[in-house]
A and B are shown apart, each in its own frame.
Chain A
Amino acid sequence: MKASLQWLRELAQLDTDPTVEEVSQALTGLGLEVEAVQAVGRIDPKVVVVEVQSIEPHPSDPKLGLVRVVTGQDSVTLVSRVPQQLSVGDQLVWAPPGAHIQDVDASKPQVVQTREFSGVPSPGMLCSESMLGLTESTELWRLNGGHPGGDKHNPNPVHGTPIQEAARTQDHILEIGLTPNRPDALGHVGIARELCIRFNTPFQIPHYDSQSLEAFAKTEKGIPVRLRAPDACPRYWAATLEGVAVGPSSSPVRRRLHSLGVRPISNVVDATNLVWLQWGLPVHAFDADKVQGEICVRYATEGETLATLDDQVRILESQDLLIADSHSPIALAGVMGGKASEVTASTTRVILEAAYFTPQGIRRTSKRLGLHTEASHRFERGVDPLGPHHAVSAGLQWITRLAGGELQAATFAQAETQAEPTSIQVSIPRAFERMGKPLDRNTMEQVLRALGCTIENPIAGETPSAGDVWHVRPPSWRPDLRRQEDVVEEWMRVVGYDHFQGVLPAPMPAVSLPAHDAQPGKLGQTTPRTFGFARRVRTAMVSLGFHEAISYAFVADSALTRARVPTNAVTLQNPLSEERSVLRTSLLPGLLESAQRGLRHQRVRVDLFEWGTVFHTRDASADNPLPVERVHLAFLMVGDRGDWFRQGSPVDFFDGKGVVESLLQRTIPSFDLRTLQWALPTTDGRIPWFHPNQSARISDAHGNTLGSCGTIHPEVAAEHDLPSAIYGELEIEGILRLEQGCGPPTLEPLPRFPSTSRDVAVLIKKSVTLEELRCSISQINIPWKRTVRLFDVYEGDQIEQGYRSIALRITYQNPDQTLAEQDVDQAHGRLMEHLKNALGVRFR
């Protein structure tokens, strides 16, 4: 909402004269946040009012004229392009050479110069409003009355007076960010009322002489008005004016409208705009000659059409409220007028409508049609139900003042039953408890009265505010005041929030008891509390060298397909774009895209992880009405291991496996990594986004799925312009279950005696896995603990086909004594023999 400081001052009539900063602070402090202040109408004081003394022809150019003007003490002769429009005595605006002026469309001021026209120099220029940045009007600006566009209410200023003073052009426009609960402040009157509260001035509601209006309404002369939808429109005024002359509004009106961001159109339309700007109450003017018979406020019939003022044909539904005459719709109630009954230049008779439309219906129609107007903005927030009376009076006054004409008839229709504002019971002790400290009761009473509330006295003989329960009746323009707490807020905001100093509340018991008496089915799935665990996992990933990514949960449908992840995605009804139209089913698409971006910036290596939620369509058989949400941890490694001192080689499956193992070890130290099951996907159970031969499903000892890890399928990598990439995705629910099964680590005693190792290189069939070899080693009956470490692998020319050479270090450890070399040799020999027999290995 834009508000003119000048207008607010006129309406509020404050006892003091606060600065624009003080006004802004006052309004912000009351909850009407002033977001910006713009100074308008600043004009170089060199630009002054002049009076035409004589008009003569130009010596050589018949189209031009020489105009002599008095500029105060002096006079100058100017060349005019429109001498025929001027007459002696006209009061014009002159910018002399050297004056700085800024056109309404210009980004910076220009300096006025003396220019020559067909041999005659013209010192400076006669100005239009647009040349001075005041409105879009390019007509010469005339200040004296009696001319079209002149202002007959302004006494003629003295020539030589700076125009800035003569026309009071300077103003400040306050940009107020109104919250939707304050429709009363959607007009200058409401804002002025708040200023009066803050600056302790009694507020005088602008008064209109409405006697003739009410007298007319009592006669049967007016146009008949039928309220066929009394719930949606309980009050309706229709006033008919005759003898109206449509034309441009006066300069001050046009300037005010322009500075408030409203385009001046014609005096009648401008007058209706002034009504909502002033009162926050929309009114509408029809050309009375284009309204046939009676006015009917009714719902549309399905499929009925109406051409609105914006030249669009609207197809209506049965919930849209209409203003219709005896033949057809003439306006979309509370949203926009109809084209056919529009006020035009030839209009002489006007019907002015002022009504109350209930918010929900207006909002529904405005939303459905995507038609948001100043009128709908106000009605859907709830205007003053008693407001139409002010609005029609104000509208009549503005129209007759700007366009002439006379009131000929008026009709007021209202529904039989009217919603009465009820009074609110306020418990004063409860109010004090909510505020945290008591307030002075006199102040509280004053605040309520200033807001327009009345305090009703239920007990005879007692002053209204003496008791502990007050009955407060809010004014009709504050539909937001409904409960005790709303009244408490009024006290607090007027007294000022700074009045209430902070106190820490009493400590809360560390654990509060779950009730679980709510229906769990309704609540949907319970979300495990993962925040603390997330912290440990994230810390571990960072210590493993990964950067944390946070990606949008919505992705393009095509991104899922491209990454070959599940496509049973939850779809948005109203996405902002196709690129973000479905919820991710995997963290892979987001990480691939981020890595792709990273490599574009010449990164050799990108290691990212993300802790995030994935979404799958709801399981139709489940109680939960919501989609399935799971928290996952995923990581993606792309590029080479090398750096400046070491030759690189691309990351591979084993880098990924190492990350999974280290992560689990770091987050669940007591977890035995050997119980983790790694399974190569079967031919039928391939994971589409993984390399079929370099990936694995990961599960716990009981076969519960924990996730998967592997090399991204070369085709998927290529689709994202990536060299080979390694990816792992773990389901946090599974990992949490693992964690709950593991206690804190218990210390394994450190060995007191040295261990003994033997290195061995064996040729082994490629089909035999290291795990099988390891098992075989652990089977043989040796009384000592043994560990096996792979330290080299060779496949190639020197090796027989179908075989590979692997080098192992086998370490023997007896916790109770140092091993004797010959015992180790003997045991090791047995072990070798066993491997030869069991697995067919050969020694090199």
Chain B
Amino acid sequence: MNSSADTPGASGPLEATLASERERAVTVFQGIQDEAELRRVRATFLGGKGSIKDLMKQIPSVEKERRKEMGRSINALKQWVEQQFDTALAALHHARLEQALGASVDITWPGRTPATGALHPLTQVTQELVDVFSTLGFDVAEGPQVDLYEYNFDKLAFPPDHPATDMQDSFFVRTDAPKTLLRTHTSTIQVREMLSRKPPLAIVSPGAVYRRDDDVTHSPMFMQLEGLWVDKKVSFTHLRGVLDAFAQSFFGPEVGVRLRPSYFPFVEPGAEVDIACIFCKPWERNAKRTAQCRICKGSGWLEILGCGMVHPEVFEHVGYDPEQYSGFAFGLGIDRIAMLRYQITDIRLLYENDVRFLEQF
């Protein structure tokens, strides 16, 4: 047996109100732009004088066996209305938020850059070099840039009045004191350190040095880093070990070194050191690339450093016993390494402080 409420057309006035209120709830919330208005409309259903309250009041007038069912229907309507209201409220909030978020910005506008500076490329290279040599056990030492001729040449076993001094054409300083010059290498620091410290010692000395040269690859002032290691039984193979370790940690694990005999008065034997070209990477065995490499001119090697075993005469000059101690020394041009690394072809750019240059590093 079917109840009349389940049967369309067989409904009483109560059912008709339920149906129409259900209909009304679907549309009445739409388009309302204000939360208070939404709540006021909601009250026309659920408020103290709302239609649902009204319907509840009518339940007793329904036949006893249908009251329960009537109650369920009213509850269903109540939930329906709540649901419509929530949806409308959420939509209203969403619309409001969208409005508040505004239009999208033009993300192609320039970023507001916090003021940022940069270290000079020579400083960056120097700091890296010092870090590498520190881990190899070297200490950093510094010294004056204007120094005695004696410390720059004589103590380093440069023969007096010898063409070897032409390799380092010096700027002399006007003074009433002994012959004084702008140091041509930071080996002056090594002399000073050895004069004031007992062996063993291991130092690197970075700093500005000065020679009377001025062209695209030579600057009258440039940066150098020299190293010195003095101990008992130091050998050439130790020098080579340190250079290998340096090349691998600074330039990369594949980068090997090559030593060629050369001459510096303060070392014996002396060598020029090449590293495998870091541009055409000869270890990858791409012969064509190496042949075409403009940086190493096809040789596969880049000259970066001079070195050797400390000349016993140097030790005699600073009061170390050459029979007991031996050592090695090396020197590299920081500018040269920076120029190689960053592919700078004109050394003068390094000292002009053009911001367009500085901000690239």
Q: Which residues of A contact B (CB under 8 A)?
A: 28-31, 33, 179-182, 359-360, 363-364, 380-381, 433-437, 483, 485-486, 488-489, 492-493, 497-498, 500-510, 512-516, 518, 520, 523-532, 535, 538-539, 541-554, 570-576, 580, 583, 590-591, 594, 597-598, 601, 603, 606-609, 613, 615, 618, 625-627, 629, 643-645
* Given A436-B236, A502-B241, A625-B175: 7 more A-B contacts, CB < 8 Å: A180-B166, A531-B206, A538-B123, A542-B116, A547-B353, A549-B358, A645-B112
Within 8 Å of chain A (Cβ to Cβ): is B202? yes
Within 8 Å of chain A (Cβ to Cβ): is B216? no
Nearest A residue to B119 by beta-carbon distance?
Answer: A548
Given contacts A485-B268, A493-B261, A497-B259, contact A573 B236 (CB under 8 A): no
Q: Are A545 and B119 in contact (CB-based, < 8 A)?
A: no
Q: Are B353 and A597 in contact (CB-based, < 8 A)?
A: yes
Give Cα distance in the complex from A502 to B242, angstroms.
7
Chain B residues lying within 8 Å of A528, measured Cβ to Cβ, are 142
Chain A residues lying within 8 Å of B195, measured Cβ to Cβ, are 518, 523
Give Cα distance in the complex from A181 to B268, angstroms.
11
Q: Are A547 and B117 in contact (CB-based, < 8 A)?
A: yes
Determine how close the nearest CB of chain A comes to the CB of B279; give it in whole angstroms: 20
Chain B residues lying within 8 Å of A607, measured Cβ to Cβ, are 115, 117
Within 8 Å of chain A (Cβ to Cβ): is B272? yes
Determine how close the nearest CB of chain B comes to the CB of A502; give it in whole angstroms: 4
Determine how close the nearest CB of chain B comes to the CB of A1; give it in whole angstroms: 13
Within the complex, which residue of A28, A181, A509, A516 is in contact with B260, where a contact is CB–CB below 8 Å? A28
Given contacts A505-B241, A538-B123, contact A514 B172 (CB under 8 A): no
Q: Are A576 and B353 in contact (CB-based, < 8 A)?
A: no
Within the complex, which residue of A180, A181, A508 is in contact with B202, where a contact is CB–CB below 8 Å? A508
Give Cα distance in the complex from A591 to B243, angstroms.
37
Q: Are A551 and B351 in contact (CB-based, < 8 A)?
A: yes
Number of A-B contacts (CB under 8 A): 283
Within the complex, which residue of A574, A583, A590 is in contact with B212, where a contact is CB–CB below 8 Å? A574
Give Cα distance in the complex from A348 to B313, angstroms.
53
Within the complex, which residue of A182, A509, A523, A643 is in contact with B192, where a contact is CB–CB below 8 Å? A523
Q: Are B354 and A543 in contact (CB-based, < 8 A)?
A: no
Q: Are A530 and B259 in contact (CB-based, < 8 A)?
A: no
Nearest A residue to B120 by beta-carbon distance?
Answer: A548
Within 8 Å of chain A (Cβ to Cβ): is B190? no
Q: Are B171 and A574 in contact (CB-based, < 8 A)?
A: yes
Given contacts A364-B161, A529-B141, A542-B119, contact A547 B359 (CB under 8 A): yes
Given contacts A508-B202, A529-B142, contact A606 B355 (CB under 8 A): yes
Q: Are A574 and B261 in contact (CB-based, < 8 A)?
A: no
Within 8 Å of chain A (Cβ to Cβ): is B231? yes
Give Cα distance in the complex from A539 to B119, angstroms.
8
Q: How many residues does chain B have at the interface if contact means C-beta atoms less than 8 Å apart? A: 99
Chain B residues lying within 8 Å of A492, measured Cβ to Cβ, are 236, 261, 269
Which one of B18-26, B88-96, B144-152, B281-289 is at the A interface?
A: B144-152
Interface string of B257-269 (1 = CB under 8 A from A): 0111111000011
In the assembled complex, 30 residue pairs joining A and B whose CB atoms fall closer than 8 Å, in A order, are A29-B260, A180-B263, A363-B163, A483-B312, A485-B311, A489-B269, A492-B236, A497-B261, A497-B271, A500-B236, A502-B242, A502-B245, A503-B237, A505-B242, A512-B201, A523-B196, A529-B142, A538-B119, A541-B117, A543-B117, A547-B117, A547-B358, A552-B220, A552-B221, A553-B210, A573-B171, A583-B173, A598-B355, A625-B180, A626-B148
Interface string of B236-249 (1 = CB under 8 A from A): 11111111110000
Give Cα distance in the complex from A643 to B229, angstroms.
52
Chain A residues lying within 8 Å of B117, measured Cβ to Cβ, are 541-548, 607, 609
Q: Which residues of B contact A (CB under 8 A)?
A: 110, 112-120, 122-123, 127, 130, 136-137, 139-148, 160-164, 166-167, 171-175, 177-178, 180, 182, 192, 195-202, 206, 208, 210, 212, 214, 220-221, 229, 231, 233-245, 258-263, 268-272, 309, 311-313, 319, 326, 350-356, 358-359
Chain A residues lying within 8 Å of B212, measured Cβ to Cβ, are 574, 576
Q: Are B235 and A527 in contact (CB-based, < 8 A)?
A: no
Those 10 A-B pairs whose CB atoms lie nearest each other, nearest first: A545-B115, A436-B237, A31-B261, A436-B235, A489-B269, A179-B263, A502-B241, A502-B240, A594-B353, A625-B177
Within the complex, which residue of A483, A503, A615 is in contact with B241, where a contact is CB–CB below 8 Å? A503
Q: Are B112 and A643 in contact (CB-based, < 8 A)?
A: yes
Nearest B residue to A180 by beta-carbon distance?
Answer: B163
Given contacts A433-B326, A505-B238, contact A531 B140 (CB under 8 A): yes
Determine how close the nearest CB of chain B comes to the CB of A536; give it in whole angstroms: 12
Given contacts A180-B166, A571-B173, A644-B110, contact A505 B234 (CB under 8 A): yes
Q: Are B173 and A512 in contact (CB-based, < 8 A)?
A: no
Given contacts A515-B196, A547-B355, A550-B351, contact A504 B148 (CB under 8 A): no
Determine how close the nearest CB of chain A comes to the CB of B143; give it in whole angstroms: 5
Determine how close the nearest CB of chain B comes to the CB of A555; give it in whole angstroms: 11
Give Cα distance in the complex from A507 to B135, angstroms.
10
Nearest B residue to A535 by beta-carbon distance?
Answer: B127
Chain A residues lying within 8 Å of B238, measured Cβ to Cβ, are 436, 502-505
Chain B residues lying within 8 Å of A501, measured Cβ to Cβ, are 237, 240
Determine how close the nearest CB of chain B comes to the CB of A295; give it in whole angstroms: 27
Q: Are A498 and B259 in contact (CB-based, < 8 A)?
A: yes
Q: Are A182 and B352 in contact (CB-based, < 8 A)?
A: no
Q: Are B173 and A573 in contact (CB-based, < 8 A)?
A: yes
Give Cα distance in the complex from A515 to B164, angstroms.
32
Chain B residues lying within 8 Å of A549, measured Cβ to Cβ, are 120, 353, 358
Chain A residues lying within 8 Å of B110, measured Cβ to Cβ, are 644
Q: Are A500 and B237 in contact (CB-based, < 8 A)?
A: yes
Within the complex, which residue of B192, B197, B239 is in contact with A512, where a contact is CB–CB below 8 Å? B197
Q: Are B240 and A500 in contact (CB-based, < 8 A)?
A: yes
Interface centre among A359, A380, A483, A574 (most CB of B within 10 A): A574
Determine how close the nearest CB of chain B comes to the CB of A39; give it in whole angstroms: 15
Q: Are B354 and A597 in contact (CB-based, < 8 A)?
A: yes
Q: Are A574 and B119 in contact (CB-based, < 8 A)?
A: no
Chain B residues lying within 8 Å of A530, measured Cβ to Cβ, are 142
Nearest B residue to A366 by beta-carbon distance?
Answer: B163
Give Cα distance in the complex from A708 to B197, angstroms.
37
Chain B residues lying within 8 Å of A520, measured Cβ to Cβ, are 196
Determine how close the nearest CB of chain A comes to the CB of B88; give it in whole angstroms: 41
Interface centre among A483, A503, A514, A538 (most CB of B within 10 A): A503
Chain B residues lying within 8 Å of A523, measured Cβ to Cβ, are 192, 195-196
Q: Are A493 and B353 in contact (CB-based, < 8 A)?
A: no
Chain A residues lying within 8 Å of B180, measured Cβ to Cβ, are 625-627
Within the complex, which residue of B147, B166, B263, B312 is in contact with A485, where a contact is CB–CB below 8 Å? B312
Chain B residues lying within 8 Å of A525, measured Cβ to Cβ, are 144
Q: Are B326 and A583 in contact (CB-based, < 8 A)?
A: no
Determine how close the nearest CB of chain B comes to the CB of A514; give it in whole angstroms: 5
Given contacts A363-B161, A524-B144, A598-B354, contact A485 B242 (CB under 8 A): no
